[in-house]
Amino acid sequence: SGAHYNPAVTLAVLARGGGLISLADGALYVVTQVVAALLAAPCCWGMIRKEAAGYAMAPPNTRDHSLYLCEFLITFALCSVVLLTATAKGQAGNSFFGLAIGFTVLSGAVSVGAISGGAFNPAVGTMSLLYGAKPAWNVLAYWVAPLCGGAVAGGFFRVVAPEAPPLEESTASPKEKDESSKTDAPSSENSTDLTTSDMLAKCFVELVGTTLLCFTVGTARGGLAPLAIGAMLMVMVYMGGWISGGHFNPAVTLAVWARSLFGATHGVFPLAQAALYIVAQTGGASLGALAAAGALARKDAVLFPAPSEKTPVGLALLGEFLGTFLLAYVVLHTATAKRTSGNSFFGLA
């Protein structure tokens, strides 16, 4: 079936194009998903009390624009990850698509669950109709925002991966399919022979990935915040690594450029491309901060990295240096080295 389980994902697959699913099948998928959600709630009541069953509901103090923004952004992230890890020919045969999709939901639930209720799925949101008038009040938002996120994700796919046709069954042998995917897939390394559209696609991926990462940094709270932030970085790397390299960090971009500068034998990363990446990442960080401020409805509520007042400046600098060194070191060895090319653990690492 493609394992959609979400009307927004089904819409994203339709908007993506390529004939992966027909409009009639898409409509049938959505009906099935909603009916299944409405049947799931009574099944839960049969195992536990109705009062103990979970459902999506925004807190009473959540503003409408915060609810819509959170549901839109995380559903956009989810649908983009689905499209670029599970439907793109350049990612054919990977073993991480399920991990990436699941951790997108986890990250979103931790970062904005307390703001929007964390549905990210119109079918899940529809369950709220069975729990009274107050929960049902959010159902419109749980349809409009996620569907908009899915539609925009389909457009995003068309911009950054237009060369990726649908993964269709054919009479080709598994070996022929494997060779075809290796030939057509963009290299994990960059080259100097890039068209303007290729470069724009790479920079757009860096912009979007950094936006979503910084949005998560700004909104995630509690003991699970580091997990949410790390999970968002991981899924963005799995989503966009095959297009841009999945840097989302000027320090990583600098490391990749320095690696190429000092005689790396596998891949070329010119200074001009590094500069464009850093511009895109900086823009993404700004957009992420603005989105977090919108989600939290207060600029001063946005979280950001900062040492405690008791931490000496030198110690803070040392911690940042060591942590960034480790990050860049792992990126270079798992995502750019020829001896580890083709691995599936680069995003998790």
Q: Which of 150, 182, 214 is the last residue of a domain?
A: 182
User: How many domains would you assign to the chain?
Assistant: 2
The number of beta carbons lying within 10 Å of the beta carbon of residue 48 is 10
Residues 61 and 47 occupy one common structural domain:
yes
Residues 195 and 135 occupy one common structural domain:
no
Mean pLDDT estimate for the chain:
87
* pLDDT score, position 36: 94
224 has pLDDT over 80 = yes
State the Cα–Cα distance between residues 287 and 300, nearest whole angstrom. Answer: 16
* pLDDT score, position 232: 97
Residues 201 and 156 occupy one common structural domain:
no
Of 307 and 107, more confident: 107
pLDDT bracket for residue 41 (50, 70, 90): confident
Residue pLDDT, tens place only, 66-93: 999 999 999 999 999 999 999 998 888 8
What's the mean pLDDT in 43-48? 82
305 has pLDDT over 80 = yes
* pLDDT score, position 14: 95
Locate tokens 């409805």: which residue? 297
pLDDT bracket for residue 197 (50, 70, 90): confident
pLDDT bracket for residue 186 (50, 70, 90): very low
| Contact call for residues 299 and 293 (beta carbons, < 8 A) | yes
Residues 177 and 215 occupy one common structural domain:
no
Residues 177 and 198 occupy one common structural domain:
no
Nearest to 113 by CA among 165, 59, 50, 193: 59
What's the mean pLDDT in 321-328? 96
Residues 219 and 153 occupy one common structural domain:
no
Residues 35 and 160 occupy one common structural domain:
yes
CA distances from 259 to 246, 247, 320, 332 (A): 16, 14, 20, 8
170 has pLDDT over 90 = no
Residues 35 and 134 occupy one common structural domain:
yes
* pLDDT score, position 264: 62
Q: Which of 115, 150, 182 is the last residue of a domain?
A: 182
Q: Which amino acid is at 220?
A: A
pTM of the model: 0.87
- Which residue range forms the structural domain that includes residue 210? 186-349
Residues 228 and 325 occupy one common structural domain:
yes
* pLDDT score, position 11: 97
Residue pLDDT, tens place only, 231-287: 999 999 999 999 999 999 999 999 999 988 876 655 678 899 999 999 999 999 999
Instruction: Say if residue 93 is exposed, middle or buried (CB neighbours under 10 Å; 0-12, 13-18, 19+).
Output: middle
Q: What is the CATH number of the domain that holds 155?
A: 1.20.1080.10
Q: Which two structure tokens, joined as six digits, stand for 231?
A: 């999970």
Of 41 and 178, more confident: 41
Residues 144 and 42 occupy one common structural domain:
yes
Residues 117 and 191 occupy one common structural domain:
no
| Contact call for residues 81 and 6 (beta carbons, < 8 A) | no
Q: Which of 153, 182, 211 is the last residue of a domain?
A: 182
Residues 141 and 214 occupy one common structural domain:
no
